[in-house]
Amino acid sequence: MISAKPVYYFDNNATTRVAPEVMEVMIPFLRDLWGNPSSAYSFGAQVHGHVEKAREKVAALIKADPREVVFTSCGTESNNAALHSALYMNPGRKHVITTRVEHSANINYGEFLQRRGIDVTYLPVESDGLLDVHLLEKLIRPDTAIVSVMMANNETGVLFPIAEIAALCRSKGVLFHTDAVQVPGKLHLDVKELGVDFLSLSAHKLHAPKGIGMLYVKKRTKFQSYLIGGHQERGRRGGTENVAGIVAFGRAAELAVNSLHDENTRVRGLRDRLENFILSHIPNTVRNGNKEHRLPNTSNIAFDFVEAEAILLLLDGLGICASSGSACTTGSLDPSHVLTAMGLPPMRARGSVRFSLGIYNSDADVDYVIEHLPRIIQKLRDISPLNPGHPDNNDYDIEAARQKHEADLAAAIKESVAA
Ligand SMILES: *Cc1c(COP(=O)(O)O)cnc(C)c1O
């Protein structure tokens, strides 16, 4: 079975390609070593050792003790589990603080908690996406069970001062969780330096497969399992281990440390080249989010007078993958909750596109976008009732460009079938 893989991938904050090195280490656990790690006989028990080796590697990525790593199914589960545990373990505390710009894993879990009688405060952000830590300080109450603030925003790449917030929470005797799903491979991660009680990761954001995540639970933190079942994960998460996923996560954790340099030099350079080109060559464009306190791979840009959905459709026709808002809200017509929280007018938020690059992007990928994007925007603005300008120059044949891409793709597929 061959399916066309995306050729120009600018959506690494949504998910990432599985690294060949990662694929390689997981296959034996699907093909040969498929025993249950909890089994007593050696066919199963030998698998247990590999799970523990992977745990050490994931722990090393965040400078934790392996016993502080709880494998879960995804970043969403990790976030939910942290909030769930904090509330369960502190029954007298019925208040949670998070932010308006979290992943839907927190925003929607917060709404669920509100329906169950928990008071949830959603911290606002400033127009550049940054957080006012003094405001957070004022909002912490004696009955606050946990504060959950993401480390890097998946839509804008904006970074929050996690060590500072963790220290504040510690001084107030409140648990602190951070969703660091976007961070591995892009920035240095050290749970001791950060001083957090809980931290979430998801393997598919760092070149491992979907369906495996982890929650760091700091030593001596009281913890209530979210999935109740067997004694896996030392009683902290029921369910037979996703062995191949865990082994893959371990390998990806090692590679993430190695890719820090590339992400912060070459990938950052590609991102900046793309962003600078757009801002200087396409009129009426604005960067969303703080320029400096930002991940090296993410660029979120508003194209005024056009709908992002239309841009994405035309980009898709050319084999370019990018997104508006987060993948989880695509398809809904509401503008991104992150951009809305930053105070963007709905029209500007609806015209915003996120480009998120990664280690598999090349100069040629950026050249390709640079070649096509200005004309796509021009084309859309010419037909947009929102556009006050009346540009006349328009000889770009998008249909011809789309057909060329289709032909290139067909040829590439034919070649990979023959290979
Ligand atoms: C992708 C993502 C998640 C969700 O992770 P899943 O493994 O897909 O559940 C949570 N938080 C952030 C910041 C993300 O980017």
* Cβ 157 under 6 angstroms from ligand 1: no
Provide DSSP, 78-123.
HHHHHHHHHHHH-TT--EEEEETTS-HHHHHHHHHHHHTT-EEEEE
Q: Looking at ligand 1, which atom is closest to the CA of residue 203? A: 7
Q: Is 414 exposed, middle or buried (0-12, 13-18, 19+ CB in 10 A)?
A: exposed
* Cβ 181 under 6 angstroms from ligand 1: yes
DSSP bridge partners of 323: 354
**Would you state the pLDDT for residue 392?**
43
**Would you state the pLDDT for residue 1?**
53
Which among 263, 323, 251 is positioned nearest to 18, based on CA atoms?
251
Ligand 1 pocket, mutate which of 76, 151, 186 (most atoms under 8 A from CB): 76
Atom 10 in ligand 1: residue holding the nearest Cα:
75
* Cβ 205 under 6 angstroms from ligand 1: yes
Ligand 1 centroid from CA 103, angstroms = 7
Q: For 347, list phi and psi in degrees, rounded to 5.
A: -65, -40
* Cβ 182 under 6 angstroms from ligand 1: yes
* Cβ 179 under 6 angstroms from ligand 1: yes
Contact 92, 145 (CB under 8 A): no
Buried b (16+ CB within 10 A) or exposed e, 94-108: bbbbbbbbbbbbbbe
* Cβ 103 under 6 angstroms from ligand 1: yes
Q: Which of 74, 169, 321, 328 is catalytic?
A: 328
**Would you state the pLDDT for residue 393?**
39
Q: Which residues, given as ranges, of the chain have pLDDT below 70? A: 1-6, 326-333, 386-396, 398, 402, 405, 409, 412-419
Ligand 1 centroid from CA 291, angstroms = 23
Ligand 1 centroid from CA 298, angstroms = 15
**Would you state the pLDDT for residue 418?**
64
* Cβ 105 under 6 angstroms from ligand 1: yes
Q: Looking at ligand 1, which atom is closest to the CA of residue 213? A: 7
Ligand 1 centroid from CA 404, angstroms = 35
List, in order of start, the domains of the chain with CATH numbers. 20-258 (3.40.640.10), 260-418 (3.90.1150.10)
pLDDT, tens only, 103-114: 999 999 999 999
**Would you state the pLDDT for residue 384?**
77
* Cβ 153 under 6 angstroms from ligand 1: no
Please confirm, yes or no, whether 328 is among the known catalytic residues. Answer: yes
Ligand 1 centroid from CA 274, angstroms = 25
What does the alpha-carbon distance between residue 122 and residue 125 come to, in Å, rounded to a whole number? 10
Ligand 1 centroid from CA 44, angstroms = 31
Atom 1 in ligand 1: residue holding the nearest Cα:
14
Q: Looking at ligand 1, which atom is closest to the CA of residue 105? A: 10
pTM score, whole prediction? 0.93
